Structures are given as C-alpha cells and as structure tokens.
C-alpha cells in the first residue's frame, strides 16, 4: 500500500507536525565523563502506520560496530584500515533490559541478527519478537535500559581527550520501508536511516561541560553531585546527536529565512575563534541559496560544531546540528572550512528533511548534496576558484568532484547499496563525485534552471518522507518534460564511461594532384577538410562539435554519438584551425577534457611551463643532495 503523502510543511502553525511522527523517543541519560560511559533509560513509542500488524521489531546498536570482529572493522581492515587493535577504540552498547509495555520483559528475547553478511560476531542489529503483534494504527511502547561505552573516536562518535561527540548512541528502531523492515548492519561506508519523530532527551553530565544538541534546550538544573541535567526537545527529526566540551566558545547569530528566523550557534574551539566568521559567512550564504533555490528551511535553529583536533568527528550531519572542521593554520584561499559547512548544511535538506535511505541510496543524499554544493560554492566564491585560490593555484569545487569520479569511473553504478561497493574509494568516487558530475551533465542537457526547478519540486514533494531513486528520477522527467531514461540507464543504473575525442583534423588542397598547382593563397585556395570525432567510451550521449576555420567561420554540428565515430568533410577556401567536442563544456561526465579539442597548430606554452617547473624542482633536488657532498 503506497505510503500516504506527508503533510505540507509549514511554519504557519507552530504546533502542527511537519512529519508523520512515527517514533517518539524519551531518553534519560547520564554521562560518566571519566569512564566515557552512558547509562540511560529510553522510552520509545512506535506508531504502527505500516498498514500491517507488526510482531517483530529490529533495532540498530551502532556503537557495537567498534569491536574488532564486527563487520565494520572487518571491512575497514580489508580496505587497509587499522593494523593494530587498541582497546581505547572499543565501543559498545548493551541492552540491560527490554520491555514492551503491556507485554512484559522481553530481554531474553533479544536476538542479534546479521541480515547483510551473516557475520555472527557483528552485533549492530538485534530484533525482538513480540508475544502480541501491534495492530495497524496502534502504538507500542518499549522501555529500554542500556549502557553504552563510548570509543575513542574511530568514526564520528565517541570522545577524544575530554571532548565528546555522541551520535548513534541509543537503540534505534529500524524503518518499515517498501513493505518490510529495513535495518542494515553498520559498515565503514554506510550512514543512517530512521523514521521521523520527536526526541525528548535529558542529559545528566558534569556542570563544567558546554553542551550542544539537535534539539532546543528546555531547562537546565544543577545537581548537588556536581552534575547538571539539561532537557532538550527536537521535533520532526530522525536522529539526535549531542556534543559536550568544557572549552567551547559559542558564537550566536540569526538568519531570517522565508519560513522562519533561524537561530545560529557556532560551538568553536578556542584556537579557531578567528575562523568563526568563515563558518558564519558560508552558513548564511548556504541558507540563503537553499531557501531561494530549493525551498524553505523549516527549523528554527542550526548548530555548527567545530570539533576538537584529532577527534575524527568533523564533516558530518545530524538533524539541525552539523560538525565542520578546520585547523589553526587554514589560509583564507583554501576554502575547506567553507566547503564543509556548505556540504553538511546541505544535508539538512538531502537527508535531514528528504530522508532517503543512506544504506541503499547513498547517492540520493551524498550525490545530490555534492551537486548542490558545487552550485552554491560557485555562486558564493566564484566558479573557477570555489575550492582553492592560493598562490596562483585555483580549483573549482566542480572539478574536485569530477576528479573523485575520474579516480573510479566504472567500478559501480550509482544505485548500488553503500555497503556493496568495490571499495571505500569507489563508494566515495561514485556516490559523491560521479553523482555530482552526472547531475552537472544533466544540467547541461536540460538547462540549469530546469534542473533547479526539478530539485525544488523534489524537495517540496518529498520532504519529511523517504523517497526512492525512482521518485527522484521521475520528478526530473516530469519537470523537464523529457524522457531521460537513456541518460539514467547509463549514468545512474549503469557503469558506462563517457569519452568523446577529436581524433584528427586535416586540411589539404583539393588540387593536390596537379603537376604545377597555383601557389597557396589564403581565401582563394580550395581545401578539403576532414574532422574525425570518436566515441571512445561506451556512454552514448548527443554532443555538439564546433569546427573553426582560418577565415573566421565557425560551424556547429550535432552528433547523436550512437556510432563509434563520425567524420565531417568540408570543401572551403579556408583551412581548419580547430575542432572541439562539447565546446560549451556541458558534458562533465567526459573522462578526458584534453582530447575534446584539437588545434591545427601546436601551442607548447603549457608544456614549457610544466617543463620549467619540473626542471626547477630537479635542480633543487640536486642542490639538496649536494649537501651530502
């Protein structure tokens, strides 16, 4: 039965929920900052909106991934991960008791399952079968007592020295999706998937810690034992993360959006305070662009956490809370802090509000977000320098994304589940780089404004729900009014590589056979010109070919790209100067821009420049070694 459409998100009535609140978490947790443990009681109220009676419930226990024999570590080591196990990296979460209210203690019914790889040592998923199923439309309440041991951060969550970033720290119920439970094990390349709901969280922790969370702070009470208990509430989100560190410096500001005034809080490391304005500028620019291009930001807050050095928590997104990252020496021309803020905020839309399945459709959040990242970074910082402009070097963010794609252009399709890619590099290259580059190419095909409208429609239609890849692709076709299956079949579902090349250009006199031909004269001698263009890859895409002659004439040919090559022949009183495939640089998926053009005359300026650099570096190496003489 298709899921009902979500309610229209609006802030006109603050009490109206923005999402189908499937879950309501109430968590009362105490942090032991010395032992790095959390003890908590969790009440989870689950509304059965599946239309079916549910008798079993799976839960994620993500922290159990940080054990040597878990699937997470097995796969990390396969990718060249840690050679040595260190006990400080062990994390765990233990369910002390599990009760279904009204159905009794089900602790002994906890059964660890491994639905993906069958690794019996992996305990990141458990399920519980209820004595009585929960009828459709009814709710069930679980009371779970758990004890969590935080690892010294390996990936995103844990502690580093006295800095805490705590995410995926509580038993999280799976998602009923596409007619069944969706609850995957945790892998190095996977992120998360959960239902929308509410979170009421109480944290008891040492008084000296400054705390930032997903939710709004409701109250703070000092306890006689030197701790404090802070209450938070977050609505219409699907996760709850928090951070605690005594040395945070907080910078506050606000931004007025079309739906709400957004309260901004930066939690800065003291030694990075001089970079707070970089974070703020990027965040406000991003908020403005997303609001204008894709839709209103529906929440009243956004928190940016600048994590402690070496913490491994940077560059990640959680609902209304993101982690950024910088260093004390970050030059202004190296736009890493701006880029990470833009990217992680972008996830508020693509993942936070349009909550796609990050296990199975990682490209729908990482890839779309990487594409919108390139657009916004270009808009904010300039198209050719949106990632770097330092000491004469420039780098566009779109080029950066394309380079990650070029490193792994053909290993996996975009639609592959995150945990099934050939390698971590392939996952990154395809999910981020290839998707961004493919969308950039699509932009070239259907128009920038059309694609922007399509993304806006997709956001507004699917916010606070869990769309699939077909929902996204169909939206693009609907808005563009074009059948784009040929493109999607190759770029999204396939591993086709796109590469067009101008193989050769040549002009020769028509009267070459004459014994005494007249002297060559520009504008008078008749030439026959051949241009050979080839499709070197297996991706078929219509392209433009531009041919220029030395009399100033420019011709544009349209090639459907279906055959492996095409030859253009002309007879003119002019010689060819150059031929270029895709002169407008719309087909970003082309794996080699260097062979897209060919000029009649050589211009060795670039070769000379690189040769000079090489020569200089060799000379300095000689000088260095000569110090041993």
- The sign of the torsion formed by the CA atoms of 583, 430, 460, 280 equals negative
The verdict on 614 binding another protein (CB under 8 A) reads yes
**CA angle 316–311–166, rounded 5-degree value:** 60
Q: 33 CB contacts (<8 Å, ≥6 apart)?
A: 162, 164, 205, 206, 209, 244
470 binds another protein (CB under 8 A): no
Q: Which helix (H) or strand (E) holds 128?
A: strand 125-134
Minimum Å gap between C-beta 393 and another protein is 5
Least Cβ distance, residue 548 to another protein (angstroms):
11
Q: At what angle do helices 368-381 and 336-349 cross, to 10 degrees?
A: 130
Distance CA 543, CA 92 (A): 54
Q: Is residue 70 a contact point for another protein (CB under 8 A)?
A: no
Cα distance between residue 147 and residue 455, in whole Å = 42
Stretch that binds another protein, among 51-59, 179-187, 386-394, 477-485 (CB under 8 A): 386-394
What stretch of H or E contains 614?
Answer: helix 605-626
Under rule CB under 8 A, residue 388 binds another protein: yes
Query: Interface with another protein includes 596 (CB under 8 A)?
Result: yes
Strand partners, 233: 200, 216
How many C-beta atoms surround the C-beta of residue 188 within 10 A?
21
Smallest distance from another protein to CB 159, Å: 12
383 binds another protein (CB under 8 A): no
C-alpha 265: how far from chain center: 23
Q: Does 607 bind another protein (CB under 8 A)?
A: yes
101 binds another protein (CB under 8 A): no
Most distant CA atoms of the chain, gap in Å: 109
Identify the bridge partners of residue 59 per DSSP, sorted by sequence position: 126, 173
- Stretch touching another protein by CB under 8 A, among 28-36, 49-57, 518-526, 607-615: 607-615
**Alpha-helical runs (H) found in 29-104:** 71-78
Among 247, 300, 420, 480, binds another protein (CB under 8 A): 247
- Kindly state the smallest distance separating residue 81's Cβ from another protein, in Å: 18
Site for another protein in 394-423 (CB under 8 A): 394-396, 399-400, 402-403, 406-407
- Which of 16, 221, 422, 620: binder of another protein (CB under 8 A)? 620
The 3-state DSSP class for residue 342 equals: helix
To another protein, the closest distance from the beta carbon of 377 in angstroms equals 13
Q: Is 604 a binder of another protein (CB under 8 A)? A: yes
Residue 602 binds another protein (CB under 8 A): yes
Cβ neighbours for 103, distance < 8 A, ≥ 6 positions apart: 130, 131, 132, 140
Instruction: Kindly write out the interface string for residues 545-584 of this chain, putting x where it contacts another protein by CB under 8 A and - elsewhere.
Output: ---------------------------------x-x----
Tokens of 586: 């719309």
Residue 218's Cβ-side half-sphere holds a number of Cα atoms within 13 Å equal to 12
Residue count, binding to another protein (CB under 8 A)? 63
Cβ neighbours around 207 below 10 Å, total: 12
609 binds another protein (CB under 8 A): yes
Spatial distance between the Cα atoms of 24 and 215, rounded to a whole number of angstroms: 14
Site string for another protein, 502-541 (x = CB under 8 A): ----------------------------------------
Contact between 392 and another protein per CB under 8 A: yes
Query: What residues contact residue 90 under an 8 Å CB cut-off, 6+ apart?
Result: 66, 67, 68, 149, 151
Stretch that binds another protein, among 294-302, 425-433, 468-476, 614-622 (CB under 8 A): 614-622
Judge contact between 199 and 237, C-beta under 8 A: yes
For the bound state, the minimum distance from the C-beta of residue 68 to another protein, rounded and expressed in Å, comes to 21
Measured distance CA(304)–CA(302) in Å, rounded: 7
Asked if 87 interacts with another protein (CB under 8 A), we say: no
Residues 290-309 that bind another protein (CB under 8 A): 308-309
Looking at residues 317 to 336 of the shown chain, list those that interact with another protein (rule: CB under 8 A).
327-329
Q: Which C-beta is closer to another protein: that of 99 or that of 162?
A: 162
Q: Segment contacting another protein (CB under 8 A): 361-369, 464-472, 560-568, 615-623?
A: 615-623
Closest separation in Å from C-beta 511 to another protein:
27
Binding of another protein at residue 213 (CB under 8 A)?
A: no
Task: Give dist(CA 215, CA 200) in Å, integer.
Answer: 8
Would you tell me which residues interact with another protein (CB under 8 A)? 161-163, 247, 269, 271, 308-310, 327-329, 384, 388, 391-396, 399-400, 402-403, 406-407, 578, 580, 592-599, 602-612, 614-629
């Amino acid at each position: 039965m298709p899921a009902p459409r979500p309610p229209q998100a609006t802030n006109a009535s603050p009490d109206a929920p923005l999402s189908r609140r499937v879950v309501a978490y109430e968590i009362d947790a105490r942090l032991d900052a010395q032992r790095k443990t959390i003890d908590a009681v969790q009440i989870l109220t689950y509304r059965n909106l599946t239309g079916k009676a549910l008798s079993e419930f799976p839960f994620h226990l993500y922290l159990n991934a940080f054990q040597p024999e878990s699937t997470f570590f097995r796969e990390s080591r396969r990718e060249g991960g840690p050679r040595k196990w260190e006990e400080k990296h062990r994390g765990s979460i233990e369910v002390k008791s599990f009760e279904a209210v009204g159905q009794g203690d089900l602790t002994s019914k906890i059964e660890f399952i491994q639905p993906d790889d069958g690794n019996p040592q992996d305990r990141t998923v458990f399920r519980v079968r209820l004595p009585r199923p929960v009828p459709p439309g009814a709710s069930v309440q679980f009371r779970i007592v758990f004890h969590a041991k935080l690892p010294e951060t390996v990936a995103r969550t844990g502690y580093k020295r006295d800095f805490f970033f705590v995410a995926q720290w509580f038993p999280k119920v799976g998602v009923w999706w596409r007619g069944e439970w969706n609850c995957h094990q945790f892998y190095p390349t996977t992120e998360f998937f959960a239902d929308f709901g509410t979170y009421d969280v109480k944290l008891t922790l040492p008084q000296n810690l400054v705390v930032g969370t997903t939710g709004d702070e409701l109250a703070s009470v000092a306890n006689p034992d030197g701790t404090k208990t802070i209450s938070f509430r977050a609505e219409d989100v699907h996760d709850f993360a928090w951070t605690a560190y005594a040395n945070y410096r907080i910078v506050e500001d606000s931004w007025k959006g079309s739906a709400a005034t957004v309260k901004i809080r930066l939690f800065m490391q003291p030694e990075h305070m001089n970079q707070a304005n970089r974070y703020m500028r990027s965040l406000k620019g991003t908020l403005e662009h997303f609001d204008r291009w894709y839709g209103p930001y529906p929440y009243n807050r956004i928190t940016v956490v600048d994590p402690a050095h070496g913490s491994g928590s940077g560059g990640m997104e959680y609902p209304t809370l993101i982690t950024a990252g910088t260093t004390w020496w970050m030059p202004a021309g190296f736009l890493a802090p701006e880029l990470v803020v833009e990217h992680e905020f972008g996830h508020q839309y693509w993942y936070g509000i349009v909550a796609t399945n990050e296990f199975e459709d990682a490209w729908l959040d990482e890839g779309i977000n990487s594409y919108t990242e390139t657009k916004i970074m270009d808009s904010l910082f300039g198209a050719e320098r949106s990632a770097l402009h330092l000491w004469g070097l420039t780098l566009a963010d779109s080029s950066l994304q394309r380079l990650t794609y070029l490193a792994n252009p053909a290993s996996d399709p975009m639609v592959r589940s995150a945990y099934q890619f050939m390698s971590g590099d392939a996952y990154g290259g395809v999910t981020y780089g290839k998707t961004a580059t493919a969308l950039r190419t699509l932009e070239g095909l259907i128009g920038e404004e059309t694609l922007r409208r399509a993304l806006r429609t997709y956001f507004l239609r699917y916010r606070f729900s869990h769309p699939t890849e077909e929902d996204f692709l169909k939206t693009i076709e609907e808005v563009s009014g074009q059948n784009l299956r040929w493109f999607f079949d190759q770029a999204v579902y396939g591993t086709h590589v796109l590469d067009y090349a101008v193989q050769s250009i040549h002009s020769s006199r028509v009267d070459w056979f004459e014994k005494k031909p007249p002297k060559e004269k520009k504008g008078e001698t008749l030439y026959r010109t051949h241009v050979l263009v080839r499709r070197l890859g297996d991706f078929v895409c219509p392209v433009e070919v531009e041919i220029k002659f030395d009399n100033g004439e420019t011709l544009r040919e349209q090639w459907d790209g279906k055959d492996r090559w095409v030859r253009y022949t002309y007879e003119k009183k002019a010689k060819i100067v150059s031929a270029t495939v895709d002169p407008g640089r719309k087909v970003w998926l082309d794996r080699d821009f260097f062979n897209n053009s060919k000029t009649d005359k050589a211009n060795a300026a670039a070769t000379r420049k690189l040769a000079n650099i090489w020569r200089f570096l060799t000379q300095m190496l000689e000088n260095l070694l000569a110090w041993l003489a």
